[in-house]
A = this chain, B = another copy of it.
Amino acid sequence: METKLVSTLEEAIRSVGLKDGMTVSFHHHLRNGDYILNLVMEQVAAMGIRDLTVNASSLFDVHLPLMEHIRSGVVTRLLTDYVSGGIGRHLSQGILEAPVEFRSHGTRATDIASEKTPIDVAFLAVPAADCRGNATGKLGRAACGSLGYAIPDAMYAKKVVLITDTLLPYPLSDWAIPECFVDYVVQVPEIGDPRGILSGTTRITRDPVGLVMAELAAKTIAGSGLLKEGFSFQTGAGGASLAAAAALKKIMEKEHITGSFALGGITGYLVEMLRAGCFRQLMDVQCFDLDAVASIRDDPRHREISAIHYAGPGTRGAVVDSLDVVILGATEIDTNFNVNVHTDSSGCLMGGSGGHTDAAAGAKLTMIIAPLVRARLPIVTDRVTCISTPGDTVDVLVTQRGIAVNPRRPELRQRLLEAGLPVTDIEALKKRAEAIAGIPRPVPRGDRVVAEVLGRDGRVQDQILSLPSDF
């Protein structure tokens, strides 16, 4: 059989014809355990290739060596959906001349598909592949489950290189990426560190404030009128969000409600809800833990979806558009319900929208769950440092001290009041937070734009400024 195997990454890079000025892409399913982005960029740098655009669905601290490639001019432009704190610190110092372009996971996928942000070469880490390029995340020593964020890159990049540590006999069944999109396959000893890829299990918070918020969140969902037969749901993997899911499960079981689907990054808690009959189906763009990986591999009700199918904006729509409720986090929320998940309150990059903005835009009820005060700073402000998710897509803020409903949703406010929930308004929550933590001093900012946040409509939604030079 004619294979697509090449023996080194160097040979693959030569074979695809990577040149100065091109765009390369990476996915983040191996998260902080990923070896591949560094391996590829090191090789690219060694070959003297420069002036590259990197389009990475997310970056983690394991990718810090990329900062050196930026400093040396190997990389001159960066597109991403999320950066960890360590990476963010460097970017906030303005090491790139061109502002980083932040998109949501859905917008990234759509912009790749439409060639608004064309990819010359996608370098895709895959936990298992065959010699012709059929590949899956469900098998192999670094199994990560869904490869949802890699699928658009595979489908639309001009050239596709797979990098794996596990070659299986042809044809590999149950592929996420079919061979017809793949140019070359490179085998390496290890694509990643499983300990960095998955948390063994995601864990429900034990923090009493988190548990109070979780109870309130579940009651808010029940009170909204959306919790009925066919209910659909998304939540993050944060401890309070998981606690909210657990509280919701109790209500659903007690009231014998069968939801249609849970969506998004999938954890063992959502798998448990599937098994308990709370949902008919899981739609999984990314697995967060080992239970989710085992489930997507073995349970046909648990389905892998691409980032386009998950959250791609546009008239054709995506699964997020059919979502009833999403629970999301925030580093700041302002009195117009705008949410910041890109920076900390000092303005330093340490996050990104990921699917936050997509799910908020799609869901009938978008709930932000956050403690009133975090790191001795009020969570509610007059104007968030960065608008990651616009306030007109956010419906309710749940804190441990009460619930604020967006004035755009008077009928929701009324429902929650009727359900006996502690509804207040967001100005009151702000005052309450300030009473505890004081009014924070304005933070000095630098004068360079280090990042632009693009909205789902493709326009610049906000800009992020550099840190002051003495920061």
Name A residues whose Cβ lies closer than 8 Å to a Cβ of B.
1-2, 4, 132-133, 155, 160, 169-171, 173-174, 178-183, 230, 260-261, 280-281, 283, 300-301, 303, 305-306, 308-309, 312, 315-319, 321-322
Best-buried of A173, A316, A319 by chain B (most CB within 10 Å): A316
The answer to whether B182 touches A322, judged by C-beta atoms less than 8 angstroms apart, is no
Given contacts A132-B322, A179-B317, 13 further A-B contacts (CB under 8 A): A1-B322, A132-B317, A132-B321, A169-B260, A169-B280, A171-B319, A173-B301, A173-B303, A179-B316, A179-B318, A180-B312, A180-B317, A300-B300
What's the nearest-Cβ distance from chain B to residue A177, in Å? 10
The answer to whether B180 touches A261, judged by C-beta atoms less than 8 angstroms apart, is no
Q: Across the interface, which residues of B come within 8 angstroms of A183, CB to CB?
A: 315-316
The answer to whether A170 touches B300, judged by C-beta atoms less than 8 angstroms apart, is no
The answer to whether B171 touches A322, judged by C-beta atoms less than 8 angstroms apart, is yes
The answer to whether B260 touches A173, judged by C-beta atoms less than 8 angstroms apart, is no
Within 8 Å by CB of A322, from B160, B170, B174, B281, lies: B170
What's the nearest-Cβ distance from chain B to residue A280, in Å? 8
21 pairs from A and B in contact (CB 8 Å cutoff): A1-B322, A2-B321, A2-B322, A160-B316, A169-B280, A170-B260, A170-B261, A171-B260, A171-B319, A173-B281, A173-B300, A173-B301, A174-B300, A174-B303, A178-B308, A179-B316, A180-B306, A180-B309, A180-B317, A180-B318, A182-B316
What's the nearest-Cβ distance from chain B to residue A366, in Å? 16
Q: How far does the alpha carbon of A1 sit from the alpha carbon of B305 in the complex, in Å?
A: 19
Q: How far does the alpha carbon of A283 sit from the alpha carbon of B281 in the complex, in Å?
A: 25
Q: Across the interface, which residues of B come within 8 angstroms of A309, CB to CB?
A: 178-180
Q: How far does the alpha carbon of A319 sit from the alpha carbon of B2 in the complex, in Å?
A: 11
Q: Across the interface, which residues of B come within 8 angstroms of A155, CB to CB?
A: 155
The answer to whether B318 touches A230, judged by C-beta atoms less than 8 angstroms apart, is no
Q: How far does the alpha carbon of A426 sit from the alpha carbon of B457 in the complex, in Å?
A: 65
Q: How far does the alpha carbon of A316 sit from the alpha carbon of B161 in the complex, in Å?
A: 11
What's the nearest-Cβ distance from chain B to residue A297, in Å? 11
The answer to whether A171 touches B261, judged by C-beta atoms less than 8 angstroms apart, is yes
What's the nearest-Cβ distance from chain B to residue A282, in Å? 10
Q: Across the interface, which residues of B come within 8 angstroms of A308, CB to CB?
A: 178, 180
The answer to whether B261 touches A319, judged by C-beta atoms less than 8 angstroms apart, is no
The answer to whether B317 touches A171, judged by C-beta atoms less than 8 angstroms apart, is no
Q: How far does the alpha carbon of A171 sit from the alpha carbon of B280 in the complex, in Å?
A: 9
Q: Across the interface, which residues of B come within 8 angstroms of A319, CB to CB?
A: 171, 179
Q: How far does the alpha carbon of A435 sit from the alpha carbon of B61 in the complex, in Å?
A: 80
What's the nearest-Cβ distance from chain B to residue A185, in Å? 11
Q: Across the interface, which residues of B come within 8 angstroms of A318, CB to CB?
A: 179-180
Q: How far does the alpha carbon of A179 sit from the alpha carbon of B315 in the complex, in Å?
A: 11
Q: Across the interface, which residues of B come within 8 angstroms of A178, CB to CB?
A: 305-306, 308-309
Q: How far does the alpha carbon of A170 sit from the alpha carbon of B260 in the complex, in Å?
A: 7
Q: How far does the alpha carbon of A132 sit from the alpha carbon of B319 in the complex, in Å?
A: 9
Q: How far does the alpha carbon of A312 sit from the alpha carbon of B181 in the complex, in Å?
A: 10
Q: How far does the alpha carbon of A138 sit from the alpha carbon of B183 in the complex, in Å?
A: 31
Q: Determine the residue in chain B with the shortest Cβ distance to A183.
A: B316
Q: How far does the alpha carbon of A38 sit from the alpha carbon of B410 in the complex, in Å?
A: 50
Q: How far does the alpha carbon of A305 sit from the alpha carbon of B134 in the complex, in Å?
A: 12
Q: Across the interface, which residues of B come within 8 angstroms of A261, CB to CB?
A: 170-171
The answer to whether A316 touches B174, judged by C-beta atoms less than 8 angstroms apart, is no
Q: How far does the alpha carbon of A157 sit from the alpha carbon of B269 in the complex, in Å?
A: 39
Q: Across the interface, which residues of B come within 8 angstroms of A169, CB to CB?
A: 230, 260, 280
What's the nearest-Cβ distance from chain B to residue A263, in Å? 9
Q: How far does the alpha carbon of A2 sit from the alpha carbon of B173 in the complex, in Å?
A: 34
Q: Across the interface, which residues of B come within 8 angstroms of A312, CB to CB?
A: 180
The answer to whether B180 touches A316, judged by C-beta atoms less than 8 angstroms apart, is yes
The answer to whether B174 touches A283, judged by C-beta atoms less than 8 angstroms apart, is no
Q: How far does the alpha carbon of A132 sit from the alpha carbon of B263 in the complex, in Å?
A: 16
Please list the 5 inter-chain residue pairs (A to B) with the smallest Cβ-Cβ separation, ordered nearest first: A178-B309, A180-B309, A180-B308, A1-B322, A180-B318
Q: Determine the residue in chain B with the shortest Cβ distance to A323.
A: B1
What's the nearest-Cβ distance from chain B to residue A249, in Å? 20
Q: How far does the alpha carbon of A306 sit from the alpha carbon of B180 in the complex, in Å?
A: 10
Q: Across the interface, which residues of B come within 8 angstroms of A316, CB to CB?
A: 133, 160, 179-183
Q: How far does the alpha carbon of A309 sit from the alpha carbon of B133 in the complex, in Å?
A: 11
The answer to whether A171 touches B2, judged by C-beta atoms less than 8 angstroms apart, is no
Q: How far does the alpha carbon of A361 sit from the alpha carbon of B84 in the complex, in Å?
A: 49
